[in-house]
Structure 1
Amino acid sequence: MALTFHTGEVGVSRAEVTSIVADALRREAFTEALVATYVWGKGKRGTPRGSGPATLQKILAAEGLDVALAAAVTVLHEHGSQEAYAALHQQIPELGPSFFTKFLYFTGKTLPPANGPEPLILDRVLSLRLRSLAVTVGRETGHDPDGSVAAWVWADWNWSPHRYGIYLSFMHAAARQLAGTDSWPSDAAPDLLECALFNSAWEPSS
């Protein structure tokens, strides 16, 4: 069956997508869960280069997609987020980290990892935010005065599983450090920090 797309804006919250993905996972409808997270990611989070309905059609037509998604769900639940990232990294043409980390993030809400931190979204916008922070720290400390190391570490896309693991460690540690401060809720989850960074709503104090 051919996919039909409609233009226009419809607001969908993270809670709603979490519910949709949870229902799809219960039915082992892994591709359905991916589509829900892909469509959500096309909203206010911006439009990564080369993405759109045509790209989604290519992803859905890829051989082995459902098997790869099912394997990643199992790996996430039985092992951890970095391992699940590795299970999807460079496995399906056109399905890059900016989108499959959204799938892992919402999947983790239903099936938390057995070990380590829960998955978070990592896309180009967040990578650029982290690069900016790294440039500032590198310049102030003298360890990376021209920002070249920051640019290499936080490239625009296709981050390695190791880099994703570092990202998760940083985000979860930063969220714990912020908890209870005057500007941060004491019970806030790390995905609030992810959202704040994406929307430029949070800047580190100097």
Structure 2
Amino acid sequence: MGRQDLADALDDELGKRLLPPTAVRALGRWLAGSGAQYVTGAGGHAVEYVPAQWSGIEPWPVELPERSRTGTARISRDQVAASTRGAAERSQWSEALVASYVWGQGRTGYGPHRLKEILAEPTVDDALATAGATLRAEGAVAAYHGLHGAVKGLGPAFFTKFLYFLDQRHVLDQSCSLNMTADAPAAPRALILDQRVARVMRAHAARVGADMGLATALDVAAWIWSDSGWTSHRYGVYLGWIHSATGQLAAAGIGWPGSRPDVLELALFDGVWNPAS
């Protein structure tokens, strides 16, 4: 079997072996304890940032505090989604990116410098606008494919945040209508994929591969679930797995919100379950 064949076999097995009982128990305890605030969704998940540190960034989202503020502020997923929705409706695509980028960086000091360089790229507005249209017409994986490598400095860990918050806009659009529109995004919805989540997936894949008897399970898992640069195929595998695992949790009788796969993404990011333990 070649390396890609092994990777495909491991992906197939991951689709069958979603969350082991230990993971379901750990996630259930989290939802009943420190994660109880997310029982209806991850929208309240907030991070701290310092508005004044972003003083050189334009355009600045109108929904965010003025950058004269030197103290800390908090911004939630729901607030970013609302800001993204407003910016997209005005076709202010760079502004939509800023809101998600600030949320993703939080208080990280080098974030403003990196974002300024990204916004200076001549391709950024067209690439983001195209991604928005593709997300709505063809779905998350196609939008990911279009953004991959399209803007210098904007990697998957951050453009999946942009896609996630942009897709929340479409979810809201659908919830306000009794009928799905013809241009509604294809399932599964966009979710964030970053290094921390990828490492959880890598550890889980390595364990599943070992159970399959793959002698190279660690190497294959490290290859397909690297720290960055994931292909659109890998993103599709991730979305399929996390949406299916959300369905598994919803059926487990632990009160898991079955319509909100972002709660599982948040739990994996927070290290609620460690597949290697």
TM over 0.5: yes
Match of 2:192?
A: 121
Letter in 2 for 1:3: G
Q: 229, 235, 241: which is aligned to 1:164?
A: 235
SS in 2 for 1:12: strand
Kindly report which structure 2 residues correspond to 1:33-44, keeping only aligned pairs within 5 A, or say none. Answer: 33-43=96-106
Match of 1:106?
A: 165
Is 1:76 aligned with 2:135? yes
Q: For the residues of structure 1 that align with 2:72 and 2:215, how far apart are their CA atoms?
A: 42
Q: For the residues of structure 2 that align with 1:55 and 1:104, how far apart are their CA atoms?
A: 19
Deviation at 1:145, TM superposition (A): 5.4
CA displacement 1:155-179 (0-9 Å, x = unmatched) = 1101011111111111111111111
Match of 2:32?
A: none
Is 1:88 aligned with 2:159? no
Q: For the residues of structure 1 that align with 2:110 and 2:118, how far apart are their CA atoms?
A: 11
Q: For the residues of structure 2 that align with 1:83 and 1:154, how far apart are their CA atoms?
A: 19
Deviation at 1:187, TM superposition (A): 3.5
Q: For the residues of structure 2 that align with 1:160 and 1:146, how far apart are their CA atoms?
A: 20
In structure 2, the CA distance between the partners of 1:136 and 1:184, relative to structure 1 (3 Å rule), is farther
SS in 2 for 1:111: helix
Deviation at 1:136, TM superposition (A): 1.7
Q: 75, 90, 95: which is aligned to 1:27?
A: 90
Letter in 2 for 1:30: W
In structure 2, the CA distance between the partners of 1:100 and 1:137, relative to structure 1 (3 Å rule), is same
Q: TM-score normalized by structure 2?
A: 0.67
CA contact (8 A) 2:249 2:258 kept: no
SS in 2 for 1:16: helix
Q: For the residues of structure 2 that align with 1:90 and 1:7, how far apart are their CA atoms?
A: 34
Q: Kindly, what percent of the aligned residue pairs are identical?
A: 43
CA displacement 1:178-199 (0-9 Å, x = unmatched) = 1131434254511111000000
Deviation at 1:12, TM superposition (A): 1.1
Q: For the residues of structure 1 that align with 2:137 and 2:226, how far apart are their CA atoms?
A: 29
SS in 1 for 2:74: coil
Kindly report which structure 2 residues correspond to 1:5-24, keeping only aligned pairs within 5 A, or say none. Answer: 9-24=72-87
CA displacement 1:8-41 (0-9 Å, x = unmatched) = 6422111111111111111111100100000000
In structure 2, the CA distance between the partners of 1:147 and 1:51, relative to structure 1 (3 Å rule), is farther
Question: What 5-or-longer segments of structure 2 have no aligned partner?
Answer: 1-54, 58-66, 172-183
Q: TM-score normalized by structure 1?
A: 0.88
Q: For the residues of structure 1 that align with 2:244 and 2:259, how far apart are their CA atoms?
A: 12
Instruction: Determine which structure has more spread, i.e. the larger CA radius of gyration.
Output: 2
Deviation at 1:144, TM superposition (A): 4.7
- Segments ≥4 residues shifted beyond 6 Å: none
Higher relative contact order (CA 8 A, sep 6+): 2
Q: For the residues of structure 2 that align with 1:64 and 1:184, how far apart are their CA atoms?
A: 44
Match of 2:244?
A: 173
Match of 1:64?
A: 123
More displaced stretch, 139-148 vs 120-129: 139-148
Q: For the residues of structure 2 that align with 1:29 and 1:82, how far apart are their CA atoms?
A: 23
Task: Kindly tell me the number of residue pairs found equivalent between the two proteins.
Answer: 200
**C-alpha root-mean-square deviation of aligned residues, in Å?**
2.3
Question: What 5-or-longer segments of structure 1 have no aligned partner?
Answer: none
Deviation at 1:83, TM superposition (A): 0.4
